[in-house]
């Protein structure tokens, strides 16, 4: 192999690695409607993203991972959304701060 060929091959490999790493994570959507998270329980892969969308007509909610020690987040008003990428495996329970009967679970493999 010539030096020029090795250089071109190295550059091609680096570019393809960057394209793979730049790929968007898979997206799972959870609707917030009628005082429920739908689906209530989801399973995703590490590195995937979840988007919660408030589809209520007049009610605010939030998505609070209280057991992770996080402070209560801002409210999501109708039409608002919240996204989170899960980088580590585990099970992550969450709830709505203003409506504690609303609960959900994200399982990350």
At residue 24, the pLDDT reads 79
Give the chain's domain count. 1
User: Is the alpha carbon torsion for 42, 79, 83, 95 positive or negative?
Assistant: negative
**What is the Cα gyration radius of the chain?**
20
**In the chain, which stretches have pLDDT less than 50?**
none
Tell me if residue 3 falls in helix, strand or coil.
helix
Assigned domain for 2 exists: no
Q: What is the tens place of the pLDDT at every residue in 17-36?
A: 555 555 778 999 999 999 99
Which pLDDT score, from 0 to 100, does residue 80 have? 98
pTM over 0.85: no
CATH number at residue 103: 2.60.40.420
Domain that holds residue 66: 25-108
Secondary structure E strands in 5-108: 27-33, 36-38, 41-44, 49-54, 81-85, 90-95, 103-108
Q: How is residue 29 annotated by DSSP? A: E
Contacts 24+ apart (CB under 8 A), 28-35: 29/53, 30/104, 31/55, 32/56, 32/61, 32/76, 32/96, 32/102, 35/59, 35/99, 35/101, 35/102
CB half-sphere exposure, 72, CA atoms < 13 A: 10
- In this structure, is residue 5 part of a structural domain? no
């Amino acid at each position: 192999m010539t030096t020029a060929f090795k250089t071109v091959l190295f550059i091609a490999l680096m570019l393809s690695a960057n394209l793979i790493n730049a790929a968007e994570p898979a997206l799972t959507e959870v609707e917030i409607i009628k005082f429920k998270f739908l689906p209530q329980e989801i399973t995703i892969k590490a590195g995937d993203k979840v988007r919660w969308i408030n589809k209520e007509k007049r009610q605010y909610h939030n998505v609070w991972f209280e057991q992770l020690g996080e402070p209560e987040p801002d409210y999501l008003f109708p039409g608002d959304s919240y996204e989170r990428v899960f980088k580590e495996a585990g099970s992550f329970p969450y709830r709505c701060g203003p409506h504690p009967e609303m609960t959900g679970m994200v399982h990350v493999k």
